[in-house]
Structure 1
Amino acid sequence: MTVSKLKALIAAAAVTGLLAGCGSSPAAEPAADAALPVAAGTGASAPAAGVPGVVVPASLKFTGRTLDGKTFDATTMAGKPTILWFWAPWCATCASEAMSISDLQDEYAGRLNILGIAGMGNNKDMHEFVSDLEVGAVPHLDDEPGKLWKKFGITEQSTYVILDKAGKVVVRSYLDDLQLTDKVKSLVA
């Protein structure tokens, strides 16, 4: 995907996708006690490896492959608010969100985890998306098979799953940039 194609996607998003999140209907935030679907065989929590006093919630008990094929262990994100950004490389709304993700990564580095989880595309296009939209400071997983999308109940791209520092899901929906920023500010004090 070329830069001009991505710019065209961003322009199209401004017209058609920003309000609806690439066709998604805004989902209500889960109830305070809403349980996150967890893969079979994982318990509620366990101590984080190498981090004294930090408990790994069930929501962060997963692994994946980065776009470069390296193993990523989500348990390393325990103890901090976390944004899981589910995106697709051809999604115009996802492209328009890239700058906000990059800005949040810069502003809250060390206090907030952000993990991109790419699906519905191939690895080459995922790499081009990350490179062209300059979101390489954020780790991204290649979830072309949809394993993590299924784990988190994601059915369409441009969805955020936001976890508080205890790993409780506080948002599972499309958010515009202002909503995303406000939610992050409320979680990172």
Structure 2
Amino acid sequence: MRARALVPAALAAALLTVTGCGSDGSSGAAGDSAPEASAASSAAEQPTTPDAGGAGAGVPEVLAFSGTTVDGESFDGKTLAGKPTVLWFWAPWCPKCRAQAAETAKVAADYAGKANVVGVAGLDTNAAMKDFVAETGTGSFPHLSDEDGAVWKRFEVTEQSRYVILDKAGKTVYEGVLPGGDGLADKVAGLTG
């Protein structure tokens, strides 16, 4: 992993508790005894808030966040409500993230309209994030530019190349690393099927 002079040391220390790019590939699901069964799960089980659209449906509190995409567009997490959601936490310099890109883009295309896929880029500059999206061909789904780490902190993600998968009610059903994205399609199929 090459160091970036532009990444503030405090942000890197707050977000990364593990050295390297991702972990050894171990993974956990909510309810498993694995350490990755995260506290994000408990955050996802918080009460819902009224839907801004007035349709009577609730929006899980975990989706009450906003941000800006790498293209400078506003993004509201509430738009993810009602569908399973894959949040892919990546960094532009991470080779494991680059290896996950093709499968993540395929899942986004295959499940368009049935599930949400959102990249959450961090640990670098927006320019590097935009380059990663262009180089990996992952521009068909939104990518948040999370330079300050707010979304990473919200989901208690401490390393890149990590997926957080929420069911349509906003409950975390999986958090972990899927090397090369292997298994992502099966996990999404199980939530949309």
Q: TM bucket by the smaller chain?
A: 0.7 to 0.9
Match of 1:188 in 2: 192
Using the size of structure 2 for normalisation, the TM-score is: 0.79
8 Å CA contact retained: 2:165, 2:172:
yes
- The corresponding residue for 1:102 is 105
Residue 187 of structure 1 deviates from its aligned partner by 0.6
Query: Where in structure 2 are the equivalents of 1:66-145 lying within 5 Å?
Result: 66-145=69-148
The number of residues matched between the two structures is 166
Deviation at 1:58, TM superposition (A): 1.4
The alignment status of 1:167 with 2:166, answered yes or no, reads no
The letter for the 1-side match of 2:21 is: C
Match of 1:17 in 2: none
**In 2, Cα distance between equivalents of 1:79 and 1:94:** 27
Q: In 2, are the aligned partners of 1:48 and 1:76 still within 8 Å (CA)? A: no
Partner Cα distance (2:38, 2:177) in 1: 18
In 2 relative to 1, CA 137–35 (structure 1 residues): closer, same or farther, beyond 3 Å? same
Structure 1: tracts of 5 or more residues without a match: 1-20
The answer to whether the Cα contact below 8 Å between 1:28 and 1:173 also exists between their aligned partners in 2 is yes
After superposition, the C-alpha distances for 1:96-147 in whole angstroms (9 at most, x for unaligned) are 1111111111111100101100001111110000011111111011111111
Partner of 2:5: none
Distance 1:125 1:83, change over 3 A: same
Gaps of 5+ in 2: 1-19
The 1:34–1:68 alpha-carbon spacing in structure 2 relative to 1, beyond 3 Å, is: closer
1:34 shift after superposition: 6.7
Query: Normalising to structure 1: TM-score of the pair?
Result: 0.80
